[in-house]
Homo-oligomer: A and B are copies of this chain.
Amino acid sequence: MKPSFEDLKSELKRQRIGLSVQRLKILAYLAEHLDHPTVDQIYTALITEIPSLSKTTVYNTLSVLQDAGLVRPLQIDEHETRYDIEIETHGHFKCASCGTIYNFSLDPNVMQKIDLPAFQIMDKTVYFKGICPDCLSNKK
């Protein structure tokens, strides 16, 4: 269930955020690549299309998109931040062998059961680590 780029675009418009070429390309890239790209990956992918692009702009844009609630940062093992288009709540699984980060859906009923009465919860993150099916079968 890919988020529609058009929806994301109109959300930017609604929030009166300028639709520069750079911002649109970065947003489009995120909408198409749901594999949690890093700043560097986004930059490297777009530098051919926008030769003048700078990493600062990628950082700036991601910050804007984050404030707008369109993308969310992902803090996984590494020291670099990965980014996710904001879609319905899902968990992440990182394979310790190949490094791939998978999405998986979270049963809302189960998630609701994890609750902290006196706390006001704004966000629930679930992150698993292990070996993915591909790497499991390769080991045989």
The answer on a CB contact under 8 Å between B126 and A130 is no
What is the CB-to-nearest-CB distance from A59 to chain B, in angstroms, rounded to a whole number? Answer: 13
The answer to whether A120 touches B136 (Cβ under 8 A) is: yes
Interface string of A100-140 (1 = CB under 8 A from B): 00101011001001101011111111111111110010000
Q: Would you call A110 and B114 a contact (CB within 8 A)?
A: yes
Residues of chain A at interface, number, CB under 8 A: 32
Shortest beta-carbon distance from A21 to chain B in Å: 29
**Which residue on chain B has the smallest CB distance to residue A124?**
B128
Distance between Cα atoms of A91 and B114 in the complex (Å):
10
A96 contacts the other chain (Cβ, under 8 Å)?
yes
Which candidate, A29-37, A38-46, A49-57, A71-79, is the interface stretch facing chain B?
A: A71-79
Across the interface, do B119 and A93 meet the contact criterion of CB distance under 8 Å? yes
| A to B CB contacts below 8 Å, 16 in the list | A75-B75, A75-B76, A102-B119, A104-B116, A107-B114, A119-B128, A119-B130, A119-B133, A120-B131, A121-B128, A122-B131, A123-B130, A124-B127, A124-B128, A125-B129, A127-B127
Contact indicator A126/B123 (Cβ below 8 Å):
no
